[in-house]
Structure formats: structure tokens, C-alpha cells
Amino acid sequence: MNIGIDARMMNPGCGIGRYIEQLVVHILALPESKEHTFVLFVKKNQLPIYRMLQEQYSHVKFVEADVHWYTWKEQRELPKIIRGYDIDLMHFPHWNVPYAYGGPFVVTVHDLIMYHFPRPSATTLGPLKFFIKDKIHRLILRRAVKKAEHILVPTEFTKHDVHTTLRIPEEKMTVTYEAPSMIMPDKEESALEILEKYQIFKPHVICVGAAYPHKNLLGLLRAWKIFEETYGSDYQLVLVGKKSAFYDTIMNSDEMKACKQVVYTGFVSDSVLRVLYETASLSVIPSLYEGFGLPPLEAMQYGIPVVSSDKTCLPEVLGEAALYTDPENPEQLASVMYTGLTDEHIRNALIENGKRELGRYRWETLAKQTLVVYEGKY
């Protein structure tokens, strides 16, 4: 069977990109995958990266599809490119399936944020353009889940969300849990040099991710102001995420100006992120909505206790390895962070529980489950 994978978004620096990267690497390594040929559609600048895989595996080939996602060109040109190859089943690892694509496909739906947080504040577009964009995206997503042979989702929460929101039968979906990736150390910069570079001189609480409104960073900053006023300034809050219009809003906000001990690093390499995790005293995820949530699992790998929002999928993913709090209650969030920083009994319990919870997540397992779906054995 010729299996196509839309790998244009592969990029270890973002959630969906890392999912595609790890899926490709692990599925090609499965002995049973050699019964198939995998055709990966990639952007031109990605071809050198993929050549290493092509040298390692004979059952994969790469096709240039230099088309950016979420564009009219994607809708118009990508189906033509795919039709040029004898694809038996296509995997679109995100909902942006070209509307005109008529071949058999499976799709991964990571979340339904567009339905639960359809706010103009979640985009840099004006109200009219946002309205049109939102309607088009919903139309594409609805068609994708309706026409797909099968749907992959990252959690039971997302499975239920797709079922109740889009009226898709649960038996049409398979849950494939993602996994954190261990980051290899980089000897070019020492931990001390990295901490000095970002002016991190105190025990720190780390929060990793984008600054979209549903990530609730303003809520975290409100809680941090209370934390500083109540418990002093012996700790720093470290925000790690790619610079964007949303982060610009955060950095210029009254909430940020009201805090004294906050560091924003911008985007960092994996090796720098490893150091920030290894030296952190606590990880926090204050999100109002997640489809999965990799950063707290990454923190657990480094023995970091986690404070988490009690919303959506997070209790399912983190289990007994986190302290939970209402992310919309800043007083409670501040108090729980302090407990997570200072109560050694709780900290040790969270670290031990984290080791156990991490056992549920393996990219190899996800790859095997995905291959079963490709083969129609769901």
C-alpha cells in the first residue's frame, strides 16, 4: 500500500510539527511498516532534512510540495500534487485537508479550539476577515471529519469533544497518545551561561508555550502578582515561547508591568529549553483549553513538579502527577504554586507519580496504533 503523509508542517519547534516529526521517524522504524511505501509531501526547505531518512529507509520517498498551509494555494495546488502519485491512503496530520481532495484519507484532529475560543482576540485579523476565516476553517474541518476514513485524536477528551461538537460517532475515532521527547544536551553553552544570558538568578517557575488567549498567560500573571505580594520575591517566573503579536500583547499588558520577577526568553533551542527545565523548581500550565499538553510531560521527564489547570484534557493526561487548580482563580493559582514550590512531601510525591505517568506515553506506541489505522484494522 502506498501511504501518503502531509509532512509540510514538520517542525520540532511547535506541537503539531513535533507530532509529525515523531510519527514519521517512529513509523518508518517499525519492521511491519516495510510492507508499505510511504510518500511524504514536504516543503522545499525541508528536503535536506528528509534525505537522511531516505538514506536510512528504502520504503520512503519524498515529494516537494512547496505550498504553505492555511492558504488558497494549499486548497488549489496540493490535491493536484498528491494526484500525481499513486496514493492508496493519505494522512493529513491536521484538519487543513484540501476541500477538493477526493481520495481516501485519515485525519488527525488535535483539538477544537476554534469552536470553544472563537474570539477576535485570538487572531491578528480584523473582525470581518476573522469572521470569514473562521467560517472557512470550520467548513474545512467539518468536511474533513465527515469524509475521513478514520480520525486520530490525542485524548479521550478530544474524542468526546469531536463527538459532541461535530456529531461524529466515537467508533470513527482512535486515541493515540503523544509523548514528550528527551532533548539531548548541547555542550556549546553551559547551564550557567544560559541562566546568565536570560538573567535567571533565582529558583524559577517555568511556563512553556504560545501566548494565544486560551493559554491564559494574563491569568498566570495576575496570579504571579498575588504570589509576589503574598510570598515575596524569592522566585522568578520564566515564560518560554516564540515571539508573536500575542506575546507582544502580553509583554505590554498592565499585568506584566505589575510583576517584578518575570523573565521572557522568546523562542529557545531544544538544548536551551532542556537547561531551563533542568534548573526549574516548578512547571505551570494555566491553560483554559488543551487537546493534549506536551510541556508538563516534558517537565516531568526532568523531575519537575507540575501545577496544572484542571480544565479539559489535562487531568486525563497528567493523572496523579500534578497539583490542579482553577486557572481562572488567581488567588488559588498563586497558593497552589507556592505549595508546589515549598511542600517537600508533595513535591516528592509528584515527582514519583510523574515517573509512573510517563510510562503511558511512547511515540513507538503511537506509531504502531497509527499504522493499524492506516491498514484499516480499527
Cα-Cα end-to-end distance for the chain = 17
In this prediction, residue 44 carries a pLDDT of 87
Q: Render pLDDT for 16-49 as a digit per residue (tens, 0 to 9).
A: 888 999 999 999 999 999 999 999 999 988 877 7
CA pair distance 347, 350, nearest whole angstrom: 5
The angle, 0 to 180 degrees and rounded to 10, between the axes of the packed helices 344-358 and 294-301 is: 110
Report the 3 state secondary structure along 143-203: HHHHHCCEEEECCHHHHHHHHHHHCCCHHHEEECCCCCCCCCCCCCCCHHHHHHHCCCCCC
Can you say whether residue 293 is alpha, beta or left, with left for phi > 0 and alpha for psi between -120 and 50 degrees? left
Residue 117: which of 253, 51, 215 has the closest Cα?
215
In this prediction, residue 193 carries a pLDDT of 93
- The pTM score is 0.92
Mean pLDDT of the chain: 93
Please report which confidence band the pLDDT of residue 10 belongs to, taking 50, 70 and 90 as the band edges.
confident
In this prediction, residue 124 carries a pLDDT of 56
Interstrand relation of 2-6 and 89-92 (parallel, antiparallel or unpaired): parallel
- E strands present in 204-261: 204-208, 236-240
CA pair distance 97, 79, nearest whole angstrom: 9
Q: Which fold has domain 2-179+362-374?
A: Rossmann fold (3.40.50)
| Cell output for 60 | 520512503
- For domain 191-358, give the CATH superfamily: Glycogen Phosphorylase B; (3.40.50.2000)
Q: Can you name the residues that pair with 75 across neighbouring β-strands?
A: none
Instruction: Determine the 3-state secondary structure of 3 from DSSP.
Output: strand
Q: Render pLDDT for 300-328 as a digit per residue (tens, 0 to 9).
A: 999 999 999 999 999 999 999 999 999 99
**What mean pLDDT comes out for the span 186-198?**
86
Helix (H) or strand (E) holding 40: strand 37-42
Q: CATH topology of 2-179+362-374 equal to that of 191-358? A: yes
Confidence check: pLDDT of 362 > 90 = yes
Query: How wide is the angle at C-alpha 81 spanned by C-alphas 61 and 18, nearest 5°?
Result: 55
- The runs of H, that is alpha helices, within 30-71 are 47-56
Range with the poorest average pLDDT among 12-21, 36-45, 118-127, 287-296: 118-127
Q: Render pLDDT for 149-176 as a digit per residue (tens, 0 to 9).
A: 999 999 999 999 999 999 999 999 999 9
What residue segments make up the domains of the chain, in order of their start? 2-179+362-374, 191-358
